[in-house]
Amino acid sequence: MRLIGDSGNSVYIDNNVLKYSNQNIHVQRKSYIIQDARYDTFSAHAFPILQNKHWTATYSTFKRKLNYYRVSRFMKRMMNSESILFIRWVAEYEQTVELQSILSKITKGILKPSS
pLDDT digits (tens, 9 = 90+) for 51-71: 899 989 989 888 888 888 888
Strands 27-36 and 2-14: antiparallel
Other C-beta atoms lying within 10 Å of the C-beta of residue 34:
25
CA-only gyration radius of the chain, Å: 19
- How confident is the model at residue 52, as a pLDDT? 92
Long-range CB pairs of 89-97 (<8 Å, 24+ gap) are: none
pTM for the predicted model, two decimal places: 0.53
pLDDT tens profile 7-60: 776 554 445 454 444 455 555 678 888 888 888 788 877 888 888 999 899 898
Q: Using CA atoms, how far apart are residues 58 and 7, in angstroms rounded to an integer?
A: 17
